[in-house]
Structure 1
Amino acid sequence: MTAIDVRGLTKRYGPETVVDDLSFTVEPGQVTGFLGPNGAGKSTTMRMIIGLAAPDRGTVTIGGRRYQDLPVPLAEVGALLDAGAVHGGRTAHDHLLALAVSNGLPKQRVGEVLARTGLEGVARRRAGGFSLGMRQRLGIAATLLGDPRVLIFDEPINGLDPEGIRWVRDLMRSLAAEGRAVLVSSHLMSEMAQTADHLIVIGRGRLIADTAVSELTRTNGESTVLVRAPASFAPQLVAAGATVREGLESTLLVSGLTAADIGQLASYHGVALSELTPQRPSLEDAFMELTRDSLEFQGAAA
């Protein structure tokens, strides 16, 4: 059964339509990345999924039921939308214990989720003294408390150091491998490229793409070829119709010509190439190409 089913979801705040006739599904057993520029409507959509905001039109179900109809919501879906939503005077242990008791969950789950999120050593510290990264871990621990089959995370790697980012990535992958559905938003495209199986991309509240990561990078963004050659080869590439940018370590990034075209051109001009490597578009390139008409703010080129 589909884990999350969003159908025709629409939300307005005054004259502004924040989410506009949005439909998509989130399936179990995979990490679904939820992407979009600032102001695209991602957080509002997540809030509607778990009943924190009421849609003006459309429906959202989790496992075929509305969130408000779930008998024990934490046992069905865990959601981290705001890492700061914790009583600063409570210890990490007591915060989780209060959630467990109020939801009728086994108390032993507190120790289990503290261990899984690496918080055992700070379980008796007050959450008000936690760094943002530690609060993120505590929020993730709370989502796991009811052992739910559906998990929703809004920017879960904010404030984490490189080790923490890798830990979150591995956790998401392991949760999906257990058959759970994981919906996660992030602005870090490099992390989504390594973490997500499927992508939902929205802009100005509307669906732009609903596709596998590999398909998105294949059909969007411009392929380039990394060329290591004398700098004098650049004007010859431009004259042949290519776009040339300087890369790292005296390389050229060439678009508009294939690697075969570049090799033939180099041979014609007697240019020795020490590297000729086709490069697929990155997820960041594909995302920027896909959402360029949906940006809320656009800066001028430097």
Structure 2
Amino acid sequence: MTTIEVRGLTKKYGPETVVDDLSFTVEPGQVTGFLGPNGAGKSTTMRMIMGLATPARGSVTIGGRRYADLPAPLTEVGALLDAGAVHGARRAYDHLLALAVSNGLPRRRVGEVLARTGLEGVAGRRAGGFSLGMRQRLGIAAALLGDPRVLIFDEPVNGLDPEGIRWIRDFMRALAREGRAVLVSSHLMSEMAQTADHLVVVGRGRLIADTGMSELMRANGAGTVLVRTSDPGSLARRLTAAGATVRDGLENSLVVSGMTGEEIGKLAAYHGVALSELTPQLASLEDAFMELTKDSVEYQGAA
């Protein structure tokens, strides 16, 4: 099974360290979301994975080998780092054919990837006339030409309409189900919440979190319960004594963690405490992301 292994990766531009001792693994069979504020080092890391930038220290391997040492790179890793990296005067079919021929791939792959990305009907059109969504699809088609087991996408949904975003989301999931390792960066937290199985979060070039989606949500507020009662102080003491963590919420409510709604309800009933509300709370990925990266944002505006 082919993985991406990033170990101790460090990159400097002049005096500035943009990637700082970064280590993580991208496993096959899942979508790994690569998240971080602007300037966190995501794009630089992806460029180093692809051999487009040289690290000051550390290493990146794909299936145990550096990208530069892969005998037929397009058959092992495909990437979309810049959807605009195609000659505008070249037809979609010709663009893909040139890539296929120059990499020793069979011509039939051009038709196959055009079909898979929904571009069959525009194969004869020049790329310069494509919408952003169509250019993204063309870039994905190019990444798939060699049928690689590893795929890397840098901000693939930026600027797309809802239909295009949904298509890319479903496509990423389908690629992972085929056993491929998929690394995708994005600023859209709502999309990552529906797309990624695993998350790598960076800030100012350093690793902040390397965790499964469900684990991150549980650790950053998911699983709390909002409780309302006429005597919150008394209930809070009883909940704390039972091992829960309780903090004050809005409008005399309690926010409880460490106990399920069912457990809270049973405890309240045992002590004869009437509840007017008992609502499980689900933190969003955006909430968790903002909490994790609050100390790593380059510029913060006043509220």
Q: Spell out the pairing of 1:174-193 with structure 2 (5 A cutoff).
A: 174-193=174-193
**Partner amino acid, structure 1, of 2:284:** S
| C-alpha spacing 1:256/1:113, structure 2 compared with 1 (3 Å) | same
Any conservation in 2 of the 1:136–1:158 contact (CA below 8 Å)? Answer: no
For the residues of structure 2 that align with 1:255 and 1:191, how far apart are their CA atoms? 31
- 8 A contact 1:96–1:110 mirrored in 2: yes
- Aligned match of 2:282: 280
User: Offset at 1:208?
Assistant: 0.7
Pairing 1:123–2:120 present: no
Q: 1:40 to 1:221 in 2, by over 3 A?
A: farther
Q: What letter is aligned with 1:256?
A: V
Residue pairs, 1:1-302, within 5 angstroms = 1-221=1-221, 225=225, 242-244=248-250, 256-257=255-256, 260=264, 273=276, 276-301=278-303
SS at match of 1:256: strand
- Secondary structure of the equivalent of 1:74? helix
Please give the alpha-carbon distance, in whole angstroms, between the structure 2 residues aligned to 1:54 and 1:72: 20
Work out the CA distance in 2 between the residues paired with 1:85 and 1:202: 26
Counterpart-to-counterpart distance in 1, 2:173 and 2:209: 22
Secondary structure of the 2:250 match is: strand
In 2, the alpha carbon distance for the partners of 1:226 and 1:90 equals: 58
User: Are the aligned partners of 2:2 and 2:149 in contact in 1 as well (CA < 8 Å)?
Assistant: no
Instruction: Give the Cα–Cα distance (whole angstroms) in 2 for the partners of residues 27 and 97 of structure 1.
Output: 30
Deviation at 1:26, TM superposition (A): 0.8
Deviation by residue 1:125-147 (Cα, 9 ceiling, x = unmatched): 11111111111111111100110
Deviations along 1:184-221, one digit per CA (max 9) or x if unpaired, are 01111111111111111111101111110000010124
Shift in Å, 1:166: 1.5
Aligned-partner residue type, residue 250 of structure 2 = V
Instruction: Give the structure-1-normalised TM-score.
Output: 0.86
Sort the Cα spacing of 1:255 and 1:224 in 2 relative to 1 into closer, same or farther, 3 A: farther
Secondary structure of 2:19's aligned partner: strand
**Are the aligned partners of 1:2 and 1:25 in contact in 2 as well (CA < 8 Å)?**
no
- Number of matched residues? 285
CA separation in 1, counterparts of 2:70 and 2:290? Answer: 38
Output the TM-score relative to the length of structure 2. 0.86
Tell whether the 8 Å contact from 2:208 to 2:292 is kept in structure 1 after alignment.
yes
Q: Deviations over 1:142-183 (max 9, x none)?
A: 100110000000011123222221111111111111111000
Amino acid at match of 2:13: Y
Amino acid at match of 2:127: A
Partner of 1:277: helix, strand, or coil? strand
Q: CA deviation at 1:50?
A: 0.4
Identity of aligned residues (%): 78
Supply the RMSD in Å over aligned alpha carbons.
2.6
Looking at structure 2, the residues matched to 103 and 137 of structure 1 have their Cα atoms a distance apart, in angstroms, of 20
Q: Tell me, what secondary structure is at the counterpart of 2:174? A: helix
TM-aligned CA deviation for residue 277 of structure 1? 2.1
**Separation of aligned partners in 2, 1:92 and 1:236:** 68
Q: Conserved in 2, the CA contact under 8 Å of 1:133 and 1:158? A: no
Give SS of 1:99's match.
helix
In structure 2, the residue corresponding to 1:183 is in which secondary structure? strand
CA contact (8 A) 2:2 2:150 kept: no
Does the Cα contact within 8 Å between 2:225 and 2:255 map onto a contact in 1? no
3-state secondary structure, aligned to 1:113: helix
